[in-house]
Chains A and B, each alone.
Chain A
Amino acid sequence: MSALAEIQPYVEAFKARPRPAEPAWLKQRRDGAMQRFAEIGWPTRKQEAWRFTDLQPLQRAPFPPALASSKVTAADLAPWLYSGAAYRIVLVDGAFAPELSIVGALPEGVWLGSTAQTLRDRPELLNTALRESDTLGAQPFVALNAALFADGFVLALEPNAVLDRAIEIVHFGRAAGQSAQLRNLVLLGTGSRAIVIETFAGEGAYWTNAVGVIAVGAGAALRHVKLQDESTAAVHLGHLRVELADRARYENFTLSLGGRLARTDIHLKFDGEGAACGLFGATLLRGDQEGTIATVVDHAAARCVTREYYKSVATDRAHGVFLGTIGVRPHAQKTDANQLSKNLLLGARAAIDAKPELEILADDVKCSHGATVGDLDETALFYLESRGIPAAEARRMLVEAFAAEVIERIEDDAGMRAHLGRHVARWLAGDIA
């Protein structure tokens, strides 16, 4: 298909979409975003940020937004549910599923609801989530999402509100040949605190295009876990835009297991001084999966700390990509940032591209980065085998250990590590080259 032909079905879908009563500003921004998407079109491999990503699975046929949700029961979701969660929002094919969600009575100062509901009851919260950058930016999928999204979730905490137990968001896809355009928002007021686990799962060949906007206020803290376990026939694009105020803390852990084509983008900006972020994750790929983690950290304020550590395993014909940029602006003195990408390449036909990048314009900073790509440690394998452990099991144990080392970087609240560990173990139960 030509570039225009690829875009056209989405332009049509935009024109034909159902129009709920939306505020005028939103309609205007949607129009602007659609226009922007039509201008910039699909990313190409000539663009540095998309150089390693093969978009074929997304371009072979259009994925118009799903207009009705497929039937999903609590039993369908059971394998992914997190026992440590206090509240749960379930979105099926991009739309809120109240019968599967548990919201109930929320503590004082907490707003939790679907994006559609928030648009009706608290439209001012959404205003933040749809800035001009959507309509002017260079991210085609973010622009398309701004034009087409119908739902998602919104969590907003007023100053000093604290949620000690996790909020669980489950995105489930089952609409073959269609897309879920999700717009999610987390706003943490000064001194507030929350834990969010977002799970993406499903069945069949659908497209999840999720855009999350996160603003962590002064002295506030957000721990954010993403379990990307989409169907291996699906396309997953998840874009997060994170802004941190003074002394804010943001921790993101992404465990990526699913998707035929899966990409997680995190664009994080330090707006206030003395803030810190931890970006961690593990990506496990097999078959013909394509998995990308792309992070851009913008140190736009002084004395902020970045700890970034991603691991990936690629076996069979899978292809893993890590793109990591840390930028330090001239006035962002006393920046302390390090970034590490460690990768295991199992099997001669698997491939991994790792591209760590530092762009430092301040002189009083502490920054480091590194990337490694290797095979399993042969001496460790022999040690395990020399004790009678079958070769295949020994390989599994070492891959599990490789992933466990980064899972240990997240706080273990209410069994989070074990929860993620079980999903890693399930992945490992399959063949490893």
Chain B
Amino acid sequence: MLEIKNLHARISEGREILKGVDLTVKPGEVHAIMGPNGSGKSTLAGVLSGKPGYEVTEGQVRFQGRDLLAMAADERARDGVFLAFQYPVEIPGVNNMYFLRAALNAVRKQRGESEMDAGQFLKAVRAKLKLLEIGEDLLQRGVNVGFSGGEKKRNEIFQMAMLEPKLAILDETDSGLDIDALQMVSRGINALRGPERAIVMITHYQRLLEHVVPDRVHVLSGGRIVKSGGKELALELEQTGYGAYGDAA
């Protein structure tokens, strides 16, 4: 599904942040990437999703056999890559429902599926809203406008549930969530797990992994994956901290 080889990347005109990342994710797997602040976690999410402002200097990324880095951000999304933002963006004046329907129809078109009419769309929306306990009124607002921090994160998972990506990259989705919201978000992620889908969770803390149990855990430090293991590695990190992996903090 996802194959990252010797990936080097830097902030445009800036210092190198990723210094040779290797990672392979197979369909059906859930991977957790953990690491101290400044280790390159968000840069990795940005590079994979095509966020502007990064420059790949070496290495390659293949997604379902295609050269992911050669694709524009919107193309990657239509092909099944989804990024849940650490800081979801507020877009006043763009109605949530309108936005979501445009996105869903763009993705469906790519999959060779027909566009959803208003009735079908609303039905699908209602089912997923319930899962994440999001009020329908929130969808009548501008994208993320007036949402609390927790609502924004739930909205990310709601969008993911609607778009049904093949590869979901969750960037610090657990940060800033209270325990109830964490459970709702986890429920949303678990509902999406399936043999055809891969999930990469980027997180600083272990607590999300209690609710969404990963198949593999990786430690990213200094721009490289320095250790990989099973779910028990997360517990070990919780006890020992990132000190052993060069946490600058």
Q: Which of A374-398 contact B (CB under 8 A)?
A: 377-380, 382-391, 393-394, 397-398
Is A357 on the interface with B (CB-CB < 8 A)?
A: no
Note all chain B residues with C-beta closer than 8 A to A87. none
Asked if B106 and A389 sit within 8 Å, CB to CB, the answer is yes
Taking the nearest CB of chain B, how far is it from the CB of A280, in angstroms?
15
Asked if B49 and A387 sit within 8 Å, CB to CB, the answer is no
Q: Which of B43-83 contact A (CB under 8 A)?
A: 49-52, 72-74, 77-78, 82-83
Q: Which of A253-261, A268-276, A316-324, A399-407 contacts B (4 or more CB under 8 A)?
A: A399-407
- Interface flags for B76-92 (1: CB within 8 Å of A; 0: not) read 01100011010011011
- Which of A377, A379, A385: most chain B CB closer than 10 A? A385
- Interface flags for B211-233 (1: CB within 8 Å of A; 0: not) read 00000000000000000000000
Known A-B contacts A378-B52, A391-B72; the reply to A386 vs B92 at CB < 8 A is no
Smallest Cβ-Cβ distance to B77: which chain A residue: A388
Q: Which of B22-55 contact A (CB under 8 A)?
A: 49-52
Taking the nearest CB of chain B, how far is it from the CB of A391, in angstroms?
6
Note all chain A residues with C-beta closer than 8 A to B200. none
Asked if A388 and B74 sit within 8 Å, CB to CB, the answer is yes
Is B163 on the interface with A (CB-CB < 8 A)?
A: yes
Asked if A385 and B74 sit within 8 Å, CB to CB, the answer is yes
Taking the nearest CB of chain B, how far is it from the CB of A387, in angstroms?
4
**Complex Cα gap A400–B163 (Å):** 24
Asked if B93 and A383 sit within 8 Å, CB to CB, the answer is no
> Which of B50, B93, B102, B142 is close to A386, meaning CB atoms less than 8 Å apart?
B50
- Interface flags for B100-128 (1: CB within 8 Å of A; 0: not) read 10110011001000000000000000000
Asked if B91 and A401 sit within 8 Å, CB to CB, the answer is yes
Asked if A388 and B78 sit within 8 Å, CB to CB, the answer is yes
Asked if B93 and A400 sit within 8 Å, CB to CB, the answer is yes
> Which of A378, A394, A400 is close to B74, meaning CB atoms less than 8 Å apart?
A394
Is B94 on the interface with A (CB-CB < 8 A)?
A: yes
Note all chain A residues with C-beta closer than 8 A to B103. 384, 387-389
Note all chain A residues with C-beta closer than 8 A to B50. 382, 385-386
Taking the nearest CB of chain A, how far is it from the CB of B162, in angstroms?
9
Note all chain B residues with C-beta closer than 8 A to A377. 89, 91
Known A-B contacts A382-B52, A382-B73, A393-B102; the reply to A387 vs B159 at CB < 8 A is yes
- Which of A383, A384, A386, A394: most chain B CB closer than 10 A? A386
Is B7 on the interface with A (CB-CB < 8 A)?
A: no
**Complex Cα gap A388–B74 (Å):** 4
> Which of A378, A379, A391, A398 is close to B94, meaning CB atoms less than 8 Å apart?
A398
Note all chain A residues with C-beta closer than 8 A to B142. 401
Q: Which of A357-385 contact B (CB under 8 A)?
A: 377-380, 382-385
Smallest Cβ-Cβ distance to B73: which chain A residue: A385
**Complex Cα gap A405–B94 (Å):** 10
Known A-B contacts A387-B77, A401-B94; the reply to A380 vs B89 at CB < 8 A is yes
Asked if A385 and B77 sit within 8 Å, CB to CB, the answer is yes
Asked if A390 and B94 sit within 8 Å, CB to CB, the answer is no
Asked if A397 and B102 sit within 8 Å, CB to CB, the answer is yes
Asked if B102 and A389 sit within 8 Å, CB to CB, the answer is yes
**Complex Cα gap A385–B51 (Å):** 9
Is B143 on the interface with A (CB-CB < 8 A)?
A: yes
Asked if B143 and A383 sit within 8 Å, CB to CB, the answer is yes
Taking the nearest CB of chain B, how far is it from the CB of A403, in angstroms?
8
Smallest Cβ-Cβ distance to B93: which chain A residue: A401
Note all chain B residues with C-beta closer than 8 A to A386. 49-51, 73-74, 77, 82-83, 85
**Complex Cα gap A404–B142 (Å):** 11
Asked if B93 and A388 sit within 8 Å, CB to CB, the answer is no
- Which of A382, A391, A404, A405: most chain B CB closer than 10 A? A382
Note all chain B residues with C-beta closer than 8 A to A388. 74, 77-78, 103, 106-107, 110, 163
Asked if A379 and B163 sit within 8 Å, CB to CB, the answer is no
Asked if B93 and A402 sit within 8 Å, CB to CB, the answer is yes
Taking the nearest CB of chain B, how far is it from the CB of A409, in angstroms?
12
Asked if B99 and A387 sit within 8 Å, CB to CB, the answer is yes
Taking the nearest CB of chain A, how far is it from the CB of B196, in angstroms?
18
Smallest Cβ-Cβ distance to A407: which chain B residue: B93
Q: Which of B142-180 contact A (CB under 8 A)?
A: 142-143, 159, 163
**Complex Cα gap A384–B106 (Å):** 11
> Which of A378, A393, A404 is close to B93, meaning CB atoms less than 8 Å apart?
A404
Note all chain B residues with C-beta closer than 8 A to A390. 74, 106
Note all chain B residues with C-beta closer than 8 A to A384. 91, 94, 99, 103
Asked if B91 and A398 sit within 8 Å, CB to CB, the answer is yes
**Complex Cα gap A377–B85 (Å):** 16
Taking the nearest CB of chain A, how far is it from the CB of B96, in angstroms?
11
Note all chain B residues with C-beta closer than 8 A to A378. 52
Nearest 3 CB-CB pairings of A with B: A401-B93, A387-B103, A388-B77
Could you write out 7 A-B pairs with CB less than 8 Å apart? Answer: A382-B52, A387-B82, A387-B100, A388-B103, A391-B74, A397-B102, A404-B93
Apart from the given pairs A386-B51, A401-B94, 4 other A-B contacts in the complex at a CB distance below 8 Å? A377-B89, A380-B89, A389-B102, A405-B93
